């Protein structure tokens, strides 16, 4: 049995796997947990991130407005399921050259060294990776953008590795990006990033077609005694456009650009109506997990059809077994 390395979270949102269910990830029966009009300005609330906070939960939520502008909003929850989202977006303190807002979307959040760090796709003459922190989800501080445009899906590791901060990302273009592989970059100070290493890329359609067009890192990697568990999204281009599914891989603990395991089968994909139909149909897009080191339970927060937010469950054992049962052999 493998183990999650991290804190215990006895109040992790949870439902047991339905009897006879044959997939490694199962949905919360009350999905979607966040509806599209949950704050007055919003057209849609999806691709959002949460963390344990003071015995309860806090998060940063992507709320696209009714003018369809993208921004991120703080939110709080007692149980990780019912959320109060602040109607005002995150306001960042910092250098006005950097904090000037074009658009912000697809946040990730993690706790490291006494602060809650946030990464997101930040408009700065094209999409790049914004980086900021807070210690109370009220006052937010913005750091320099991590990379040159164009880049999306910046995901920090939750601790330094060999003395360096590390971030996964997916270099992109100004449009809807018909390509995309995952890279790992290092920084001594969260400002200067280098040592950009290739982690993993798309897969030929005859081997694993759901991830044949582009892939990108999803939630913050989960530390285990066998390596970093990476939940990621994979995209196929079909006659009706892109379809976004979810996969899983295991990265080396000290050199996380080395892939130890990866599943050829997806772990979650658009199947329920709220995943199949919405502003952008056929999207399941994970941006956060909660984990309980005592039980190996994992709760996954994911955007559904770019419209609402869903919750799903799995365990470390389920995902490790699935990678062994359906290995990607390249």
Q: What is the 3-state secondary structure (H, E, C) of 275-307?
A: HHCCCCCCEEEEEEEEEECCCCEEEEEEEECCC
Note whether 280 binds ligand BMA by CB under 6 A. Answer: yes
Find out whether 317 and 296 touch, Cβ atoms under 8 Å: yes
The closest alpha carbon to 169, from 146, 190, 187, 192, belongs to 146
Nearer to ligand BMA by Cβ, of 309 and 315: the residue is 309
The C-alpha atoms of residue 43 and residue 36 are separated, in whole angstroms, by: 6
* Nearest distance, CB of residue 17 and ligand BMA, angstroms: 26
Q: For residue 204, is it left (φ>0), alpha (ψ between -120 and 50) or beta? A: beta
Task: Give the interface segment with ligand BMA, choosing from 90-98, 185-193, 263-271, 280-288 (CB under 6 A).
Answer: 280-288
Find out whether 159 and 222 touch, Cβ atoms under 8 Å: no
Find out whether 257 and 198 touch, Cβ atoms under 8 Å: yes
Pattern 189-218, ligand BMA, x by CB under 6 A: ------------------------------
Of the candidate residues 257, 285, 302, 322, the single one contacting ligand BMA (CB under 6 A): 285
* Nearest distance, CB of residue 37 and ligand BMA, angstroms: 18
Question: Environment class of residue 67 by beta-carbon count within 10 Å: exposed (0-12), middle (13-18) or buried (19+)?
Answer: exposed
The C-alpha atoms of residue 300 and residue 219 are separated, in whole angstroms, by: 8
Nearer to ligand BMA by Cβ, of 256 and 303: the residue is 303
Of the candidate residues 4, 58, 250, 283, the single one contacting ligand BMA (CB under 6 A): 283
DSSP string, 47-67: EEEEEEETTEEEEEEEEEETT
Pattern 104-133, ligand BMA, x by CB under 6 A: -xx---------------------------
Nearer to ligand BMA by Cβ, of 143 and 243: the residue is 243
Note whether 150 binds ligand BMA by CB under 6 A. Answer: no
Note whether 276 binds ligand BMA by CB under 6 A. Answer: no
* Nearest distance, CB of residue 242 and ligand BMA, angstroms: 7
Nearer to ligand BMA by Cβ, of 1 and 68: the residue is 68
Question: Environment class of residue 18 by beta-carbon count within 10 Å: exposed (0-12), middle (13-18) or buried (19+)?
Answer: exposed
* Nearest distance, CB of residue 34 and ligand BMA, angstroms: 15
Note whether 244 binds ligand BMA by CB under 6 A. Answer: yes
Pattern 160-189, ligand BMA, x by CB under 6 A: ----------------x-------------
Element (H, E) at 75: strand 70-77
Task: Look at the chain and count its residues.
Answer: 330
Q: Which residues pair with 63 in a beta bridge?
A: 45, 71
Task: Give the interface segment with ligand BMA, choosing from 48-56, 79-87, 128-136, 279-287 (CB under 6 A).
Answer: 279-287
Pattern 15-54, ligand BMA, x by CB under 6 A: --------------------------------x-------
Of the candidate residues 64, 275, 306, 318, the single one contacting ligand BMA (CB under 6 A): 306
Nearer to ligand BMA by Cβ, of 26 and 242: the residue is 242
Residue spans of alpha helices (H) in the chain: 96-99, 205-208, 273-276, 316-325
* Nearest distance, CB of residue 288 and ligand BMA, angstroms: 14
Chain residues in the site for ligand BMA (CB under 6 A): 47, 105-106, 176, 244, 280, 283, 285, 303, 306
């Amino acid at each position: 049995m493998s183990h999650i390395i991290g804190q215990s979270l006895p109040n992790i949102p949870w439902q047991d796997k339905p009897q006879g269910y044959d997939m490694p990830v199962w949905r919360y029966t009350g999905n979607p947990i966040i509806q599209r009009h949950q704050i007055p300005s919003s057209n849609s609330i999806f691709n959002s991130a949460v963390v344990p906070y003071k015995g309860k939960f806090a998060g940063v939520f992507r709320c696209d407005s009714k003018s369809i502008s993208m921004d991120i909003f703080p939110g709080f929850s007692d149980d990780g399921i019912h959320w109060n989202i602040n109607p005002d977006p995150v306001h960042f303190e910092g250098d006005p050259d950097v904090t000037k807002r074009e658009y912000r979307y697809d946040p990730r959040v993690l706790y490291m060294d006494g602060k809650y760090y946030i990464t997101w796709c930040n408009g700065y003459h094209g999409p790049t990776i914004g980086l900021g922190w807070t210690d109370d989800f009220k006052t937010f501080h913005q750091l320099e953008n991590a990379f040159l445009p164009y880049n999306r899906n910046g995901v920090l590791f939750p601790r330094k590795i060999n003395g360096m901060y590390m971030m996964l990302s997916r270099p992109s273009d100004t449009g809807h990006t018909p390509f995309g592989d995952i890279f790992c970059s290092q920084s001594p100070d969260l400002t200067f990033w280098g040592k950009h290493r290739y982690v993993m890329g798309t897969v030929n359609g005859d081997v694993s077609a759901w991830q044949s067009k582009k892939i990108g890192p999803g939630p913050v990697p989960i530390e285990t005694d066998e390596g970093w568990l990476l939940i990621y999204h994979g995209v196929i281009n079909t006659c009706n456009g892109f379809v976004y599914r979810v996969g899983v891989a295991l990265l080396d603990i000290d050199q996380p650009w080395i892939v130890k395991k990866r599943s050829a089968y997806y772990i979650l994909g658009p199947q329920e109506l709220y995943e199949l139909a919405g502003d952008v149909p056929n999207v399941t897009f994970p941006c956060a997990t909660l984990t309980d080191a005592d039980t190996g339970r994992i709760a996954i927060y994911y955007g559904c059809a770019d419209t609402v937010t869903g919750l799903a469950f799995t365990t470390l054992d389920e995902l490790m077994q699935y990678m062994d049962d359906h290995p990607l052999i390249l």
